[in-house]
Chains A and B, each alone.
Chain A
């Protein structure tokens, strides 16, 4: 049964590949194989855990359409095994390039090696993998999470400049083991380490979700006698925590200063209402950059190993002005 299904799958894939060649082939051949024929790209997304991710997905899909690239999209629903399955099916379908945003950092060597053996270049987007063998992927396009953590820390240091009393910080971490959680934590930690007044009194995972962010913050509010600052690894957890802070009878943004990362629209709305103090942007709109990169990789041009997306930091006074321009 599974064999038959596999055969059917391969047959379909080949048919798709043939038509793809047929449609774009005419001009492509004459141009001397400049690589303009329609590329097929397999893209495995983490999931749809947040507005940020949805914007990221949309950006990739739109950019692919614009660039005339056939995109095979697969949603991993935040599970590594789904993503590995998707990548294997991309290999079977003989796509030109595989792009994916790894759910977790480790455990990719085997499947990436399969892609390498099939001579399909791999582009990582948004999140990195933790692998000793650098030849397993061509390049990594995405945000620098350590940098984001540092930016969050920098804002905090500046905010409490000249003050000496201790600052108690609680941290809502992302999904345990994920690159943004690890890096945002370490980047932030590196910056505030230099000053003894900053103290992270509690740090737990909120799984990047609103419900968990709220639940964990409620527990923090009860177990920690004094909280000055909340550092949330993403906006959704911050938004959940804001509800918890309000229910505790405190004013978010004033009694407890809130630092968040990502920059989704809901967070800007909250920031415009003075509930979040600062948002470190993590730009999901990397579709166009990705398509450019994929074309280059396919042509065999050398690309940098690490390409960063353009990102900023937004504070409360800029929120209202920036709100209408937020796309996600």
Chain B
């Protein structure tokens, strides 16, 4: 039992399940998944579908946070990628061709690579504080996106582009598959190779890492590039889903949702220890929260308060200190701290 409750994914999972069950109470067929027009249809599919961009952005954010940094620019990168791709498609002679769409995707990812590299250089080489370095792009990027779209919403009609965020492959929304593939790839890369360990060590103790000969600068630069690429993919999904690029609203505040997802997933903002699985759960918790607001009919004026209350509850229930205190108040001083502190040590060694 202790093995289950002590697992780092236990509490995020509990919260997610609790939220889903709360929905079930209001909508009896909430868990029903049907086949409609040759694709899966149901609330759970919606959560995964709309949660996919957030999962991707949060994934990149997790790696950045693991190194002790933070990336505020992802929302702007989402908008820029969406704007570039849609602009290219809308201006091409043959918007419906696969070639055009692939070029658009390549342009979006290419520019994101540059943006990420710029962030990486600022943080790793020049030594600007991550929050400041990425704030620059966060503020400037939305302006850039609006410059690209000329302040308009660009509407595109392109079947292959529609597939990325709004299409289906083997009855499943393509964006879910894409997000799953990226998550799988990232977890293989970080857990099956030494990369994850190196990231944790750079984030956990930069000085010690340097002394044992880890090239921190390159690693830190890399995570910002990965983060930007993830954000660009998310931007493609978001714009493809509505077949339009909106420089103003695409990915607005997604950086905050992503940071929240990372925290809810149990990754420490201090860097060091990270959990990709936790982040995916965290992103799903946040998306489920939105869906819950819509389905149980919370008035828009109080939506933010409702979300805040849930987030506070989630963070408290995840805190070992808080749980220990609560338990102590209930049953006297039966036991003290949970064995969490010992886990953190595995990194620094």
B-binding residues in A (CB < 8 A): 47-51, 54, 57, 75, 77-78, 173, 176-177, 202-205, 207, 209-212, 214-216, 218-220, 222-223, 236, 240, 243, 247-249, 266
For B239, the closest partner residue in chain A by CB is: A211
- State whether the Cβ of B152 lies closer than 8 Å to any Cβ in chain A: yes
Which of B244, B247, B299 contacts A210, CB < 8 Å? B244
- State whether the Cβ of B268 lies closer than 8 Å to any Cβ in chain A: no
The verdict on A211 contacting B43 (CB below 8 Å), with A219-B295, A223-B26, A223-B27 known, is no
Binds A, one of B109-117, B286-294, B318-326: B286-294
For A250, the closest partner residue in chain B by CB is: B36
Nearest CB in chain A: distance from B143 CB, A? 8
Which of A218, A236, A266 contacts B46, CB < 8 Å? A218
- B296 proximity list for chain A (CB < 8 A): 223
A240 to B238, CA, bound (A): 12
> Do residues A77 and B248 form an inter-chain contact, with CB atoms below 8 A?
yes
Which of B152, B250, B291, B293 contacts A211, CB < 8 Å? B250
The verdict on A222 contacting B50 (CB below 8 Å), with A211-B238, A240-B242 known, is no
> Do residues A215 and B27 form an inter-chain contact, with CB atoms below 8 A?
no
Nearest CB in chain B: distance from A233 CB, A? 11
A-binding residues in B (CB < 8 A): 26-27, 29-30, 36-37, 41-43, 46, 50, 142, 146, 151-153, 155, 166, 238, 241-244, 246-250, 290-291, 293-297, 299-301, 303
The verdict on A215 contacting B290 (CB below 8 Å), with A48-B152, A77-B142 known, is yes
> Do residues A214 and B153 form an inter-chain contact, with CB atoms below 8 A?
no
Nearest CB in chain A: distance from B204 CB, A? 38
A50 to B296, CA, bound (A): 29
For A240, the closest partner residue in chain B by CB is: B242
A204 to B298, CA, bound (A): 8
A47 to B146, CA, bound (A): 10
For A174, the closest partner residue in chain B by CB is: B300
> Do residues B301 and A176 form an inter-chain contact, with CB atoms below 8 A?
yes
> Do residues A248 and B36 form an inter-chain contact, with CB atoms below 8 A?
yes
A222 to B243, CA, bound (A): 22
> Do residues A207 and B36 form an inter-chain contact, with CB atoms below 8 A?
no
The verdict on A214 contacting B248 (CB below 8 Å), with A48-B152, A204-B294 known, is no
- B248 proximity list for chain A (CB < 8 A): 47-49, 77-78
> Do residues B50 and A48 form an inter-chain contact, with CB atoms below 8 A?
no
The verdict on A219 contacting B294 (CB below 8 Å), with A48-B247, A49-B249 known, is yes
If A176-B300, A204-B293 are given as contacts, then 14 extra A-B residue pairs at C-beta distance below 8 Å, sorted by A number, are A47-B248, A48-B152, A49-B246, A51-B152, A54-B151, A205-B303, A207-B249, A216-B294, A219-B295, A222-B27, A223-B26, A223-B296, A249-B37, A266-B155
Which of A48, A202, A203, A222 contacts B43, CB < 8 Å? A222
Nearest CB in chain A: distance from B188 CB, A? 31
Among B238, B250, B297, B300, chain A packs the most CB atoms within 10 A around the CB of B300
> Do residues A219 and B46 form an inter-chain contact, with CB atoms below 8 A?
yes
> Do residues A219 and B155 form an inter-chain contact, with CB atoms below 8 A?
no
Nearest CB in chain A: distance from B231 CB, A? 16
> Do residues B303 and A210 form an inter-chain contact, with CB atoms below 8 A?
no
Contact sample, A vs B, 26 pairs, CB 8 Å cutoff: A48-B146, A48-B151, A48-B248, A51-B152, A75-B146, A77-B248, A78-B248, A173-B300, A202-B294, A203-B300, A209-B246, A209-B249, A211-B241, A214-B242, A215-B294, A219-B43, A219-B46, A220-B294, A222-B29, A222-B43, A223-B26, A223-B43, A223-B294, A223-B297, A240-B242, A248-B36
- B152 proximity list for chain A (CB < 8 A): 48, 51, 54
A183 to B250, CA, bound (A): 26
- A212 proximity list for chain B (CB < 8 A): 249
For A45, the closest partner residue in chain B by CB is: B151
Which of A54, A173, A205, A222 contacts B42, CB < 8 Å? A222
Nearest CB in chain B: distance from A26 CB, A? 37
- A209 proximity list for chain B (CB < 8 A): 246, 249
